[in-house]
Amino acid sequence: MKQLWQTTLDENSPPEIIGETGELLFVKTVSGSLFAFNTKEGRLVWKQSGPTPLATPTPSPTPTPITQTLTPGSQSSTAEIQPPPRAPFAVIVSDTVMIGDPAAENMRAFDTKTGQKKWETSLRFEAPNRDAGTRFLPGAVYTDTVVVAVSSKVNPFTTHPTSNPEYLRLVGLDVTTGQQKWAFVPDPVKAGAESRQGGVIYGTKTLIVDGPDLSTFGIEPRNGSALWKAFGLFFVSNPEPDTLYALVAQPRGTTSYPVVNKIDPNSGKPFWQKILPIKLSSEQPITFSSDEKTVYISVFASAQKSYLWTLNFDSSEVRQTDTSPYGLYDMSTTNSGILMVQSSVSASGVVYLDLTRNSPSWAIGGRVELLYGLQRPPDKATLYLTFKDETNRGYLFSVNEETGQVITTNQIELPTAPPYFSASQKTIYVVGKGAKPLVYAFARP
């Protein structure tokens, strides 16, 4: 791809793109700094330095798989993988850019054109045995309300359901003033009960809140009212926030046929229920194609052995494919097949399996590490992949999703966040970390 410009940040903290508005591109850093750049040539317009960071970096989802499986009620060990630090939650609304401060436990808002501070709001809440500081979960904007979710656990992988529980708090803030409109705290975990890491799915009309105590709530985002409540739902990973597939919890240690409900996010009631005709002895990753004609189940029998079940609902055909050569992988579906995404230090890449075949249609990768998974712009069947090699050099690949053919390759500094596609879809922005953090702008092919 043709590089339009690159610019250097005058600090050492890893950067991440927030977004753009007008002719300004906004970048945040792990330390909480804000930068505004002109989108035409990368000129710095203004900067707000971040606060003093926490002693322990705020963790967020890691670009490489967590190899230790956590089940509800399990106790974490100190040897678990610590996710890499990520920049705090930030969002742009019209002429305002907002960013969270994990150490001070607040949100700050600035004018997009001048960088002048508009407001500052505390998000701190009391919880038993809570950590110092706050972990920000992703948030979202609903017209004039920004919804922010925070956790009492800076590192959720050290949570214990009785001595060190996790508490979530969701807050709806007025975009203009920062005034709190509403707040919601899911039920606490009872002593000795099963628990999970809490989370939020931001639908277009409803917030889906996974409480640490295995409860699930549907919340109206503009006023915080609870629309519905359920218990024991485990949502299947899905890129569409308004399409909810939930596994019904089964007794631990039993062998059963998975029961999947498609949930109406506005009422919590199932649109349909399917019992998958594949008997499993434990919870395994499940994903659906967007047309709901195919379901895929990954079964990791051991660290060396795995296979993929493919079930076509129209034909009732069930197929098993040996996926052991691909190690641990995530799944991303199309209506014609599945992309298996492996991300490890020793070898990683993407393998595409067509529905009609039992062997890969194409594959890309090797002895490099894939960072941040697959990135898809909304307008083209093109995949964007960021890799690093054993010398810590970074690469940006664009790949034809149908054929696996590499379209472009660009060498960059080590990427620190996923690529960002401009609103016009004509520019892709990438951030990297060399001697100093960098921002790149490329023209999309």
Number of structural domains (the chain) is 1
pLDDT digits (tens, 9 = 90+) for 24-35: 999 999 888 999
pTM for the model stands at 0.85
The answer to whether position 152 is within a domain reads no
Q: Is residue 410 part of a domain?
A: no
Residue type, position 348, single letter: S
Segment 430-441 mean pLDDT: 92
Element (H, E) at 29: strand 24-29
Q: What residues contact 299, with CB distance under 8 A and at least 6 apart?
A: 280, 284, 306, 307, 308, 309
Map tokens 């092919």 to a residue.
Answer: 445
pLDDT at 250: 72
Residue 158 inside a domain? The answer is: no
Q: Is 403 domain-assigned? A: no
278 falls within a domain? yes
What pLDDT, in 10s, does the model give residues 159-174?
555 566 788 899 999 9
pLDDT digits (tens, 9 = 90+) for 209-235: 988 888 999 999 999 999 999 988 888
The pLDDT, as a whole number, for residue 164 is 67
Does the pLDDT of residue 268 top 60, yes or no?
Answer: yes
Using CA atoms, how far apart are residues 298 and 288, in angstroms rounded to an integer?
Answer: 12
- Residue 317 carries which DSSP code? -
Asked if residue 427 is part of any domain, the answer here is no
Q: How far apart are CA 27 and CA 37, in angstroms?
A: 8
More confidently predicted of 131 and 75: 131
Which residues have CB under 8 Å from 383's CB, separation 6+?
A: 339, 350, 374, 375, 376, 398, 399, 400, 401
Compute the distance between CA of residue 402 and CA of residue 297 in angstroms, rounded to an integer.
Answer: 22
pLDDT of residue 156: 66
Q: Which residues contact 14 (CB under 8 A, 6 or more apart)?
A: 29, 30, 85, 87, 416, 417, 431, 433, 437
How many other C-beta atoms lie within 10 A of the C-beta of residue 346? 9
Bridging pattern class, strands 369-375 and 382-388 = antiparallel
Domain that residue 297 falls in: 239-367
Asked if the structure places residue 30 within a domain, the reply is no
Q: Is the pLDDT of residue 12 over 60?
A: yes
State both tokens at 264: 């109406």
- The answer as to whether 154 is a domain residue is no
The pLDDT of residue 72 is 28
CATH number of 285's domain: 2.130.10.150
Say if residues 433 and 8 touch (Cβ distance below 8 Å). no
Query: What CA–CA distance (Å, rounded) separates 406 from 395?
Result: 12
Q: Is residue 408 predicted with pLDDT exceeding 80?
A: yes
